Chains A and B, each alone.
Chain A
């Protein structure tokens, strides 16, 4: 076997739920306009699940496609990494459910929770495992079901309009050619801005973590008072997160 120098993406896959939610659809749920959403986010439509669907199910569809395009059987995976900020259950991680859906066992699975940069973090992790010979074939899956955890009322309009559901997957393997594959990885974090874009609840630093007060009949209480958004839904503060966490309109036009 040639000496492994890099890791390379051998196959890709993705899956989006069928239900398309346009900006116009959102105007029926909240006080906003199609123009406002598109101007502020560059987004025209997103997908939401319809009925009970798990991140592991979306991830499985994406993963099977990636495995097929890589020509790798799920049994031949040495490591499965799943990134999500909307896990299927509290614990264990969604990767365990994905492993079951793929019908395999034995290889380690791990969840990475690095939010929107999760895929880049996962690629870096997979790359290190492969280039040091610790794993040969690694499945990396990003899977999100945001729609069950966003405030689709007017109070949540600044943030809820950004998020959609879906999954993407990549299968990585060793690459002997130093000019191909993952050439370099760089990871960063800056926790002083951690609460600029946040879902606070449930929080292990709050005792007890979940109370009945946080809930109404249909889910997380939309607001603790008429003017205070719920801490269980994503919130963003100030211009920083709006300008850095969402692409400018020109990206999609």
Chain B
């Protein structure tokens, strides 16, 4: 990666998500009033509470529909998408807006001691609109979590479990409110999980890798994402490491890369797109889409 974007002062994820959601709705031939459910994925919410989905509902002028806020960190988009798919499949919602947005830049440590962590992260938003269709668009979704070693990639404070106060000066001075990443341990785990889950989701859908037009591999280090694609024997020319474009935007990285690929004419209607993501928790997953 060469650059990343930082949000303007005072702009939260819901502001960025609005800019992503409006063209997504327009592209689907819909208006905010048509949305039956908002699913908002972020790990950097506008405020401690309420969730960013509530803000987005108001900023878009949607009806008083449900605004489900989910946290699955870097794999947030896939977890949100798979959940939204269930609402559409079951007939509970005709139109679901999946909005993903992150403002990491206000949380990062800009001192030299964080030189191995801070450069990864960027701000941004992506959105997709799901609706009922005769033929499925989400062909398969495989989601996993494994808490083993989760402190290797986390941000500890504020911590409600910290007694008697969830944030204090001692934690602040120790920098425990900054992102921590043990790259030497997490990178290999990510590489194996991303390679494994890509084949798992293809097998689940019964689709061979050579039929897939585009593989979006989402991890904070683009080199690791590429190594995972290589380990999975994916054709290099059809692989995009999402972090290459503008850094790691956690929940929003995949929908941004998908929108880029569509805008560039790299994929189009009817094409198969395979998404894989790995992140904190540890949570990871794969989703196979037919556009």
A binds B: yes
Number of residues on chain B facing chain A (CB within 8 A): 81
In the complex formed, the residue of A with least CB distance to B168 is A219
Q: How large is the interface on A (under 10, 10 to 19, 20 to 34, 35 or more residues)?
A: 35 or more
**Which of B50, B167, B169 has the most A CB atoms < 10 Å from its CB?**
B50
Asked if B283 is at the interface of the complex by the 8 Å CB criterion, the answer is yes
Asked if A154 is at the interface of the complex by the 8 Å CB criterion, the answer is no
Interface SS, A side: loop
Interface flags for B38-64 (1: CB within 8 Å of A; 0: not) read 100001111111110111111100001
Asked if B103 contacts A205 (CB within 8 A), the reply is yes
Q: How far is the CA of A209 from the CA of B175 in the complex (A)?
A: 13
**Which of A49, A51, A206 has the most B CB atoms < 10 Å from its CB?**
A206
Asked if B57 contacts A108 (CB within 8 A), the reply is no
Asked if A128 is at the interface of the complex by the 8 Å CB criterion, the answer is yes
Asked if A218 contacts B161 (CB within 8 A), the reply is no
A241 to chain B, nearest CB (A): 11
Asked if A238 is at the interface of the complex by the 8 Å CB criterion, the answer is no
Inter-chain contact count A-B, CB under 8 Å? 275
Name 7 A/B residue pairs within 8 A (Cβ), A-sorted: A90-B159, A99-B145, A199-B48, A204-B44, A205-B46, A207-B9, A212-B172
Asked if A134 is at the interface of the complex by the 8 Å CB criterion, the answer is yes
Asked if A90 contacts B150 (CB within 8 A), the reply is no
Asked if A3 is at the interface of the complex by the 8 Å CB criterion, the answer is no
Asked if B223 is at the interface of the complex by the 8 Å CB criterion, the answer is no
Q: How far is the CA of A121 from the CA of B71 in the complex (A)?
A: 14
Query: B90 contacts which chain A residues (CB < 8 A)?
Result: 128, 131-132
Q: How far is the CA of A29 from the CA of B66 in the complex (A)?
A: 38
Interface 9-mer from A20-28, A32-40, A186-194 = A186-194
* Other 5 A-B pairs with CB < 8 A, given A113-B49, A190-B57, A190-B64: A109-B145, A134-B141, A149-B158, A189-B65, A202-B158
